[in-house]
Protein backbone atom coordinates (compact mmCIF):
# COMPACT_ATOMS: atom_id res chain seq x y z
CA UNK A 1 0.00 0.00 0.00
CA UNK A 2 1.40 3.36 -1.00
CA UNK A 3 2.23 6.13 1.40
CA UNK A 4 -0.36 8.41 -0.20
CA UNK A 5 -3.09 5.80 0.16
CA UNK A 6 -2.25 5.35 3.82
CA UNK A 7 -2.49 9.09 4.35
CA UNK A 8 -5.90 9.16 2.73
CA UNK A 9 -7.09 6.37 4.97
CA UNK A 10 -5.90 8.21 8.03
CA UNK A 11 -7.74 11.27 6.82
CA UNK A 12 -10.92 9.24 6.50
CA UNK A 13 -10.54 8.07 10.07
CA UNK A 14 -10.45 11.67 11.19
CA UNK A 15 -13.97 12.17 9.87
CA UNK A 16 -15.42 10.10 12.72
CA UNK A 17 -17.31 12.28 15.15
CA UNK A 18 -16.86 15.43 13.14
CA UNK A 19 -19.58 18.05 13.35
CA UNK A 20 -21.97 17.76 10.46
CA UNK A 21 -22.01 20.71 8.15
CA UNK A 22 -25.53 21.14 6.67
CA UNK A 23 -24.23 22.20 3.27
CA UNK A 24 -21.72 19.35 3.10
CA UNK A 25 -24.37 16.86 4.19
CA UNK A 26 -26.88 18.10 1.62
CA UNK A 27 -24.25 17.81 -1.10
CA UNK A 28 -23.33 14.29 0.06
CA UNK A 29 -26.95 13.15 -0.04
CA UNK A 30 -27.36 14.60 -3.50
CA UNK A 31 -24.23 12.76 -4.68
CA UNK A 32 -25.51 9.47 -3.23
CA UNK A 33 -28.89 9.84 -4.90
CA UNK A 34 -27.19 10.69 -8.19
CA UNK A 35 -24.93 7.63 -7.93
CA UNK A 36 -27.95 5.39 -7.27
CA UNK A 37 -29.68 6.77 -10.39
CA UNK A 38 -26.52 6.07 -12.39
CA UNK A 39 -26.51 2.48 -11.12
CA UNK A 40 -30.17 2.07 -12.06
CA UNK A 41 -29.30 3.00 -15.63
CA UNK A 42 -26.01 1.11 -15.93
CA UNK A 43 -26.45 -1.85 -13.55
CA UNK A 44 -30.16 -2.31 -12.69
CA UNK A 45 -29.54 -5.15 -10.24
CA UNK A 46 -27.31 -2.99 -8.06
CA UNK A 47 -29.39 0.13 -8.61
CA UNK A 48 -32.67 -1.52 -7.60
CA UNK A 49 -31.19 -2.89 -4.40
CA UNK A 50 -29.43 0.38 -3.61
CA UNK A 51 -32.65 2.39 -3.80
CA UNK A 52 -34.28 0.20 -1.13
CA UNK A 53 -31.57 1.21 1.36
CA UNK A 54 -32.53 4.26 3.37
CA UNK A 55 -29.89 7.01 3.25
CA UNK A 56 -28.83 7.92 6.81
CA UNK A 57 -26.20 10.41 7.98
CA UNK A 58 -23.71 8.77 10.38
CA UNK A 59 -21.06 11.45 10.88
CA UNK A 60 -21.17 10.82 14.64
CA UNK A 61 -19.78 7.28 14.46
CA UNK A 62 -18.88 6.32 10.89
CA UNK A 63 -15.75 7.48 9.07
CA UNK A 64 -16.70 6.10 5.65
CA UNK A 65 -19.94 4.15 5.01
CA UNK A 66 -21.83 1.16 6.37
CA UNK A 67 -25.03 -0.84 6.01
CA UNK A 68 -27.20 -3.01 8.25
CA UNK A 69 -29.28 -4.40 5.38
CA UNK A 70 -31.93 -1.69 5.56
CA UNK A 71 -29.96 1.54 5.68
CA UNK A 72 -27.00 3.06 3.88
CA UNK A 73 -25.01 4.95 6.52
CA UNK A 74 -22.54 7.55 5.32
CA UNK A 75 -20.05 10.12 6.48
CA UNK A 76 -20.72 13.32 4.59
CA UNK A 77 -17.06 14.44 4.54
CA UNK A 78 -15.97 11.05 3.16
CA UNK A 79 -18.63 11.08 0.45
CA UNK A 80 -17.44 14.55 -0.57
CA UNK A 81 -13.96 13.14 -1.34
CA UNK A 82 -15.17 10.44 -3.73
CA UNK A 83 -15.49 10.86 -7.49
CA UNK A 84 -18.90 9.81 -8.80
CA UNK A 85 -17.75 6.46 -10.17
CA UNK A 86 -15.97 5.55 -6.91
CA UNK A 87 -19.19 6.38 -5.06
CA UNK A 88 -21.04 3.95 -7.36
CA UNK A 89 -18.47 1.34 -6.41
CA UNK A 90 -18.98 2.09 -2.70
CA UNK A 91 -22.76 1.75 -2.99
CA UNK A 92 -22.35 -1.52 -4.91
CA UNK A 93 -19.99 -2.66 -2.15
CA UNK A 94 -22.66 -2.12 0.52
CA UNK A 95 -25.31 -3.76 -1.66
CA UNK A 96 -23.30 -6.97 -2.01
CA UNK A 97 -22.64 -7.13 1.73
CA UNK A 98 -26.44 -7.19 2.10
CA UNK A 99 -27.03 -9.67 -0.72
CA UNK A 100 -24.49 -12.16 0.64
CA UNK A 101 -25.63 -11.61 4.26
CA UNK A 102 -22.06 -11.06 5.40
CA UNK A 103 -23.42 -9.43 8.55
CA UNK A 104 -25.08 -12.68 9.65
CA UNK A 105 -22.68 -15.37 8.40
CA UNK A 106 -19.61 -14.78 10.54
CA UNK A 107 -20.49 -17.25 13.29
CA UNK A 108 -17.55 -17.74 15.67
CA UNK A 109 -14.92 -16.68 13.15
CA UNK A 110 -12.36 -13.97 13.91
CA UNK A 111 -14.23 -10.73 13.08
CA UNK A 112 -11.15 -9.01 11.65
CA UNK A 113 -10.32 -11.79 9.19
CA UNK A 114 -14.01 -12.20 8.34
CA UNK A 115 -14.37 -8.52 7.46
CA UNK A 116 -11.26 -8.72 5.29
CA UNK A 117 -12.59 -11.84 3.53
CA UNK A 118 -15.95 -10.15 2.90
CA UNK A 119 -14.30 -7.17 1.23
CA UNK A 120 -12.12 -9.35 -0.99
CA UNK A 121 -15.26 -11.14 -2.21
CA UNK A 122 -17.45 -8.12 -2.93
CA UNK A 123 -14.66 -6.07 -4.50
CA UNK A 124 -13.82 -8.96 -6.83
CA UNK A 125 -17.45 -9.14 -7.95
CA UNK A 126 -17.69 -5.38 -8.44
CA UNK A 127 -14.54 -5.24 -10.57
CA UNK A 128 -15.72 -8.16 -12.70
CA UNK A 129 -19.14 -6.54 -13.17
CA UNK A 130 -17.49 -3.18 -13.93
CA UNK A 131 -19.49 -1.37 -11.27
CA UNK A 132 -18.12 2.14 -11.06
CA UNK A 133 -14.42 2.54 -10.33
CA UNK A 134 -12.62 0.66 -7.55
CA UNK A 135 -11.68 2.84 -4.61
CA UNK A 136 -7.84 2.71 -4.46
CA UNK A 137 -7.65 1.69 -0.82
CA UNK A 138 -10.04 -1.25 -1.33
CA UNK A 139 -8.89 -4.87 -0.97
CA UNK A 140 -8.54 -6.79 -4.22
CA UNK A 141 -6.76 -10.00 -5.24
CA UNK A 142 -7.59 -12.04 -8.35
CA UNK A 143 -6.69 -15.29 -6.57
CA UNK A 144 -10.00 -14.99 -4.71
CA UNK A 145 -12.05 -15.00 -7.89
CA UNK A 146 -15.23 -17.11 -7.58
CA UNK A 147 -14.48 -17.91 -3.94
CA UNK A 148 -16.98 -17.54 -1.10
CA UNK A 149 -16.25 -15.45 1.98
CA UNK A 150 -15.80 -18.69 3.93
CA UNK A 151 -13.19 -19.96 1.46
CA UNK A 152 -11.32 -16.65 1.49
CA UNK A 153 -11.44 -16.62 5.29
CA UNK A 154 -9.95 -20.12 5.45
CA UNK A 155 -7.10 -19.01 3.20
CA UNK A 156 -6.45 -15.94 5.34
CA UNK A 157 -6.63 -18.01 8.53
CA UNK A 158 -4.12 -20.55 7.21
CA UNK A 159 -1.73 -17.78 6.23
CA UNK A 160 -2.36 -15.49 9.22
CA UNK A 161 1.31 -15.53 10.21
CA UNK A 162 2.38 -14.36 6.76
CA UNK A 163 0.04 -11.38 6.41
CA UNK A 164 -0.17 -8.00 8.09
CA UNK A 165 -3.73 -7.96 9.43
CA UNK A 166 -3.56 -4.32 10.50
CA UNK A 167 -2.44 -3.34 7.02
CA UNK A 168 -5.34 -5.25 5.44
CA UNK A 169 -7.83 -3.79 7.91
CA UNK A 170 -6.59 -0.36 6.92
CA UNK A 171 -7.81 -1.11 3.39
CA UNK A 172 -11.44 -1.69 4.37
CA UNK A 173 -13.51 0.98 2.68
CA UNK A 174 -16.48 0.74 5.04
CA UNK A 175 -17.60 -0.04 8.57
CA UNK A 176 -18.75 -3.63 9.17
CA UNK A 177 -21.86 -3.84 11.33
CA UNK A 178 -21.56 -7.38 12.60
CA UNK A 179 -20.20 -9.44 15.43
CA UNK A 180 -19.49 -8.18 18.91
CA UNK A 181 -20.00 -4.54 18.00
CA UNK A 182 -23.67 -5.29 17.28
CA UNK A 183 -25.43 -6.56 20.35
CA UNK A 184 -29.09 -7.07 21.05
CA UNK A 185 -31.43 -4.16 20.48
CA UNK A 186 -33.15 -2.07 17.88
CA UNK A 187 -31.43 -0.41 14.99
CA UNK A 188 -31.16 3.34 14.95
CA UNK A 189 -34.21 5.06 13.52
CA UNK A 190 -33.93 7.40 10.60
CA UNK A 191 -36.21 9.27 8.24
CA UNK A 192 -36.88 8.44 4.63
CA UNK A 193 -33.71 8.31 2.61
CA UNK A 194 -35.02 10.63 -0.07
CA UNK A 195 -36.50 13.09 2.42
CA UNK A 196 -34.81 15.89 4.21
CA UNK A 197 -34.25 14.17 7.55
CA UNK A 198 -30.90 13.20 8.98
CA UNK A 199 -30.10 10.53 11.47
CA UNK A 200 -27.71 11.91 14.03
CA UNK A 201 -27.39 8.68 16.04
CA UNK A 202 -24.49 8.84 18.45
CA UNK A 203 -23.64 5.14 18.26
CA UNK A 204 -23.54 2.31 15.78
CA UNK A 205 -26.91 0.64 15.19
CA UNK A 206 -27.62 -2.51 17.16
CA UNK A 207 -29.31 -5.41 15.36
CA UNK A 208 -30.89 -8.31 17.21
CA UNK A 209 -30.74 -11.86 15.84
CA UNK A 210 -34.49 -11.81 15.19
CA UNK A 211 -34.17 -8.55 13.28
CA UNK A 212 -31.25 -9.96 11.32
CA UNK A 213 -33.50 -12.86 10.25
CA UNK A 214 -36.17 -10.41 9.09
CA UNK A 215 -33.62 -8.42 7.12
CA UNK A 216 -32.26 -11.62 5.53
CA UNK A 217 -35.75 -12.66 4.41
CA UNK A 218 -36.48 -9.18 3.05
CA UNK A 219 -33.22 -9.24 1.11
CA UNK A 220 -33.95 -12.64 -0.45
CA UNK A 221 -37.21 -11.29 -1.85
CA UNK A 222 -35.55 -8.08 -3.01
CA UNK A 223 -32.76 -10.03 -4.74
CA UNK A 224 -35.28 -12.09 -6.70
CA UNK A 225 -37.11 -8.95 -7.83
CA UNK A 226 -33.91 -7.12 -8.78
CA UNK A 227 -32.57 -10.16 -10.65
CA UNK A 228 -35.73 -10.36 -12.76
CA UNK A 229 -35.34 -6.73 -13.81
CA UNK A 230 -31.65 -7.14 -14.62
CA UNK A 231 -31.31 -10.53 -16.33
CA UNK A 232 -29.08 -13.46 -15.38
CA UNK A 233 -26.21 -12.34 -17.63
CA UNK A 234 -25.80 -9.15 -15.60
CA UNK A 235 -25.44 -10.80 -12.20
CA UNK A 236 -22.28 -11.78 -10.28
CA UNK A 237 -21.68 -15.54 -10.25
CA UNK A 238 -22.35 -15.73 -6.51
CA UNK A 239 -25.73 -14.08 -7.00
CA UNK A 240 -26.61 -16.46 -9.85
CA UNK A 241 -25.90 -19.42 -7.58
CA UNK A 242 -28.02 -17.85 -4.85
CA UNK A 243 -30.94 -17.43 -7.28
CA UNK A 244 -30.61 -21.04 -8.37
CA UNK A 245 -30.71 -22.24 -4.77
CA UNK A 246 -33.66 -20.03 -3.88
CA UNK A 247 -35.75 -21.19 -6.84
CA UNK A 248 -34.89 -24.90 -6.66
CA UNK A 249 -37.74 -27.07 -5.32
CA UNK A 250 -36.79 -28.53 -1.96
CA UNK A 251 -38.35 -30.99 0.46
CA UNK A 252 -38.53 -30.14 4.12
CA UNK A 253 -35.63 -31.75 5.94
CA UNK A 254 -37.92 -33.99 8.00
CA UNK A 255 -39.75 -35.26 4.92
CA UNK A 256 -36.46 -35.90 3.18
CA UNK A 257 -35.06 -37.72 6.21
CA UNK A 258 -38.11 -39.95 6.42
CA UNK A 259 -37.80 -40.80 2.74
CA UNK A 260 -34.09 -41.49 3.13
CA UNK A 261 -34.68 -43.83 6.05
CA UNK A 262 -37.41 -45.71 4.21
CA UNK A 263 -35.09 -46.16 1.26
CA UNK A 264 -32.47 -47.81 3.47
CA UNK A 265 -34.79 -50.55 4.72
CA UNK A 266 -33.78 -53.79 3.04
CA UNK A 267 -36.41 -55.91 1.37
CA UNK A 268 -35.27 -59.46 2.18
CA UNK A 269 -36.80 -62.12 -0.01
CA UNK A 270 -37.52 -65.52 1.59
CA UNK A 271 -38.81 -68.61 -0.12
CA UNK A 272 -42.01 -69.71 1.60
CA UNK A 273 -45.16 -71.51 0.63
CA UNK A 274 -47.82 -68.86 -0.06
CA UNK A 275 -51.36 -69.07 1.29
CA UNK A 276 -53.67 -71.27 -0.77
CA UNK A 277 -56.27 -68.54 -0.50
CA UNK A 278 -54.09 -66.35 -2.66
CA UNK A 279 -52.87 -68.90 -5.13
CA UNK A 280 -54.46 -71.67 -7.18
CA UNK A 281 -51.30 -73.71 -7.36
CA UNK A 282 -49.15 -75.40 -4.78
CA UNK A 283 -45.96 -73.47 -5.55
CA UNK A 284 -43.05 -72.10 -3.58
CA UNK A 285 -42.42 -68.48 -4.54
CA UNK A 286 -40.31 -65.63 -3.13
CA UNK A 287 -42.12 -63.49 -0.61
CA UNK A 288 -41.23 -60.05 0.78
CA UNK A 289 -40.18 -59.96 4.45
CA UNK A 290 -39.59 -56.28 5.25
CA UNK A 291 -36.86 -55.60 7.78
CA UNK A 292 -37.91 -52.83 10.17
CA UNK A 293 -34.66 -52.23 12.10
CA UNK A 294 -33.31 -48.72 11.61
CA UNK A 295 -29.84 -47.60 12.67
CA UNK A 296 -29.35 -43.86 12.48
CA UNK A 297 -26.74 -41.47 13.87
CA UNK A 298 -27.55 -37.82 14.45
CA UNK A 299 -25.19 -35.04 15.46
CA UNK A 300 -25.91 -31.43 16.32
CA UNK A 301 -23.36 -28.68 15.70
CA UNK A 302 -23.32 -26.68 18.94
CA UNK A 303 -20.71 -24.20 17.73
CA UNK A 304 -23.44 -22.15 16.03
CA UNK A 305 -26.39 -20.18 17.35
CA UNK A 306 -29.45 -22.44 17.41
CA UNK A 307 -31.96 -21.36 20.03
CA UNK A 308 -33.37 -23.68 22.69
CA UNK A 309 -36.69 -23.61 20.87
CA UNK A 310 -35.07 -24.65 17.60
CA UNK A 311 -33.25 -27.53 19.31
CA UNK A 312 -36.50 -28.65 20.94
CA UNK A 313 -38.26 -28.60 17.56
CA UNK A 314 -35.49 -30.68 15.98
CA UNK A 315 -35.69 -33.29 18.75
CA UNK A 316 -39.48 -33.41 18.47
CA UNK A 317 -39.34 -33.93 14.70
CA UNK A 318 -36.70 -36.65 14.99
CA UNK A 319 -38.73 -38.39 17.72
CA UNK A 320 -41.81 -38.42 15.49
CA UNK A 321 -39.83 -39.83 12.55
CA UNK A 322 -38.25 -42.62 14.60
CA UNK A 323 -41.59 -43.64 16.12
CA UNK A 324 -42.81 -44.49 12.62
CA UNK A 325 -40.54 -47.54 12.71
CA UNK A 326 -41.07 -50.59 14.85
CA UNK A 327 -37.48 -50.98 16.00
CA UNK A 328 -34.54 -48.62 15.85
CA UNK A 329 -31.25 -47.45 17.33
CA UNK A 330 -30.75 -43.70 17.39
CA UNK A 331 -27.22 -42.58 18.22
CA UNK A 332 -27.17 -38.89 19.05
CA UNK A 333 -24.41 -36.52 20.12
CA UNK A 334 -23.35 -32.88 19.98
CA UNK A 335 -20.08 -31.62 18.57
CA UNK A 336 -17.86 -28.56 18.20
CA UNK A 337 -14.18 -29.53 18.02
CA UNK A 338 -15.03 -32.85 19.70
CA UNK A 339 -18.05 -35.06 20.36
CA UNK A 340 -20.11 -34.38 23.51
CA UNK A 341 -22.85 -36.22 25.41
CA UNK A 342 -23.30 -39.29 23.16
CA UNK A 343 -26.45 -41.28 23.93
CA UNK A 344 -28.50 -44.09 22.39
CA UNK A 345 -32.27 -44.02 22.09
CA UNK A 346 -34.48 -46.94 21.11
CA UNK A 347 -38.21 -47.56 20.89
CA UNK A 348 -38.11 -48.20 24.66
CA UNK A 349 -36.76 -44.78 25.76
CA UNK A 350 -37.46 -42.48 22.78
CA UNK A 351 -39.67 -40.26 24.96
CA UNK A 352 -36.53 -39.21 26.84
CA UNK A 353 -35.11 -37.67 23.65
CA UNK A 354 -36.96 -34.43 24.38
CA UNK A 355 -34.86 -34.03 27.53
CA UNK A 356 -31.57 -34.62 25.75
CA UNK A 357 -29.07 -31.87 26.67
CA UNK A 358 -27.12 -30.18 23.89
CA UNK A 359 -23.71 -29.02 25.11
CA UNK A 360 -20.61 -27.55 23.50
CA UNK A 361 -19.92 -24.17 21.94
CA UNK A 362 -16.31 -24.15 20.73
CA UNK A 363 -15.02 -24.25 17.16
CA UNK A 364 -16.28 -26.50 14.37
CA UNK A 365 -14.48 -29.72 13.42
CA UNK A 366 -16.68 -31.95 11.24
CA UNK A 367 -14.06 -34.72 11.23
CA UNK A 368 -14.68 -35.31 14.95
CA UNK A 369 -17.98 -37.00 14.01
CA UNK A 370 -16.38 -39.60 11.78
CA UNK A 371 -13.52 -40.15 14.19
CA UNK A 372 -16.04 -40.87 16.93
CA UNK A 373 -18.13 -43.24 14.81
CA UNK A 374 -15.07 -45.21 13.71
CA UNK A 375 -13.65 -45.44 17.22
CA UNK A 376 -16.99 -46.66 18.62
CA UNK A 377 -17.79 -49.01 15.74
CA UNK A 378 -20.94 -47.08 14.82
CA UNK A 379 -21.97 -47.82 11.22
CA UNK A 380 -25.35 -46.15 10.72
CA UNK A 381 -27.62 -46.66 7.74
CA UNK A 382 -27.95 -42.89 7.73
CA UNK A 383 -25.88 -40.17 9.40
CA UNK A 384 -27.65 -36.83 9.86
CA UNK A 385 -25.78 -33.65 10.80
CA UNK A 386 -27.45 -30.41 11.84
CA UNK A 387 -24.98 -27.58 11.20
CA UNK A 388 -24.51 -24.03 9.95
CA UNK A 389 -22.28 -25.54 7.25
CA UNK A 390 -18.96 -23.90 8.06
CA UNK A 391 -16.31 -26.52 8.88
CA UNK A 392 -12.78 -25.57 9.79
CA UNK A 393 -11.26 -27.87 7.21
CA UNK A 394 -12.82 -31.10 5.95
CA UNK A 395 -16.53 -31.87 5.60
CA UNK A 396 -15.83 -35.43 6.72
CA UNK A 397 -15.44 -38.89 5.20
CA UNK A 398 -17.60 -39.26 2.06
CA UNK A 399 -17.07 -43.04 1.91
CA UNK A 400 -17.99 -44.09 5.45
CA UNK A 401 -21.79 -43.92 5.41
CA UNK A 402 -24.75 -42.20 3.76
CA UNK A 403 -24.86 -38.65 5.06
CA UNK A 404 -27.60 -36.03 5.16
CA UNK A 405 -26.50 -32.48 5.97
CA UNK A 406 -29.28 -30.28 7.38
CA UNK A 407 -27.97 -26.71 7.16
CA UNK A 408 -29.51 -23.88 9.13
CA UNK A 409 -28.92 -20.16 8.72
CA UNK A 410 -28.12 -20.29 4.99
CA UNK A 411 -29.57 -21.74 1.78
CA UNK A 412 -26.48 -21.09 -0.34
CA UNK A 413 -24.15 -23.68 1.18
CA UNK A 414 -24.00 -27.20 -0.25
CA UNK A 415 -21.95 -30.08 1.12
CA UNK A 416 -19.43 -31.63 -1.32
CA UNK A 417 -20.91 -35.12 -0.75
CA UNK A 418 -24.06 -36.77 0.54
CA UNK A 419 -27.37 -34.92 0.42
CA UNK A 420 -27.88 -31.33 1.53
CA UNK A 421 -31.17 -29.91 2.73
CA UNK A 422 -32.01 -26.83 4.77
CA UNK A 423 -33.66 -26.14 8.08
CA UNK A 424 -35.82 -23.03 8.08
CA UNK A 425 -35.22 -21.34 11.40
CA UNK A 426 -38.48 -19.47 10.94
CA UNK A 427 -39.74 -17.46 13.88
CA UNK A 428 -38.00 -19.56 16.49
CA UNK A 429 -34.57 -18.12 15.81
CA UNK A 430 -32.92 -16.04 18.49
Residue 226 reports pLDDT greater than 70: yes
From 96, 109, 90, select the one nearest 391 (Cα to Cα). 109
User: Could you give phi then psi for residue 384, rounded to 5 degrees?
Assistant: -115, 130
Per-chain mean pLDDT for the chain: 79
Indicate the pTM of the whole model.
0.57
**Which structural domains are found in the chain, ordered by start?**
3-247 (no CATH), 253-428 (3.40.50)
Tens digit of each residue's pLDDT (9 = 90 or more) over 114-123 = 999 999 999 9
pLDDT value for 87: 97
Q: Which of 86-100, 216-230, 270-284 has the lowest mean pLDDT?
A: 270-284
- Residues of the chain with pLDDT > 70, as a percent, come to 78
pLDDT value for 178: 64
Q: Which residues pair with 56 in a beta bridge?
A: 73
Contacts of 127 (CB under 8 A, 6+ apart): 134, 140
Residue 339 reports pLDDT greater than 60: yes
Contacts of 263 (CB under 8 A, 6+ apart): none
The torsion angle over the Cα atoms of residues 87, 90, 94 and 96, rounded to 10 degrees, is 110
| Strands in 70-137 per DSSP E | 71-74
Residue 341 reports pLDDT greater than 90: yes
pLDDT value for 282: 43
**270 or 346: which leads in pLDDT:** 346
Tens digit of each residue's pLDDT (9 = 90 or more) over 3-33 = 344 445 566 666 666 777 889 999 999 999 9
pLDDT value for 14: 63
pLDDT value for 322: 84
Q: Averaged over 296-308, what is the pLDDT?
A: 82
pLDDT value for 306: 67
**59 or 254: which leads in pLDDT:** 59
The DSSP H or E segment spanning 7 is: helix 3-13
pLDDT value for 180: 43
- What is the spatial distance between Cα 221 and Cα 247, in angstroms, rounded to a whole number? 11
Residue 219 reports pLDDT greater than 60: yes
Tens digit of each residue's pLDDT (9 = 90 or more) over 135-157 = 998 999 999 988 888 899 999 99
Q: Which of 189-203, 271-285, 312-326, 390-404 has the lowest mean pLDDT?
A: 271-285
pLDDT value for 181: 42
pLDDT value for 249: 52
Tens digit of each residue's pLDDT (9 = 90 or more) over 25-62 = 999 999 999 999 999 999 999 999 999 999 999 999 99
Tens digit of each residue's pLDDT (9 = 90 or more) over 157-207 = 998 888 999 999 999 999 888 644 443 333 333 334 444 444 444 578 888
Amino acid sequence: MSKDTTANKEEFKNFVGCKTDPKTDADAREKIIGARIALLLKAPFFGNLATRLEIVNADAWCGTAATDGRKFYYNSEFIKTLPSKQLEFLIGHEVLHCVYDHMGRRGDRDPRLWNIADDYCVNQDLVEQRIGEKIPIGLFDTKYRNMSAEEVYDDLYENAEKINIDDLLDQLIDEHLDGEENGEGDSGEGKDGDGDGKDKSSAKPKISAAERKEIRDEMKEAVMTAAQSSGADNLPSGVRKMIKDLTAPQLNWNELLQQQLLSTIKADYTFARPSRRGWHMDAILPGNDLEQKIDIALSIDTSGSMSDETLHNIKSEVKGIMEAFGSFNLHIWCFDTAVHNPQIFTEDNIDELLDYECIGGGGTDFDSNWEYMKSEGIEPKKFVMFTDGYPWDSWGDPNYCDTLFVIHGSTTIEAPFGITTYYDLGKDSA
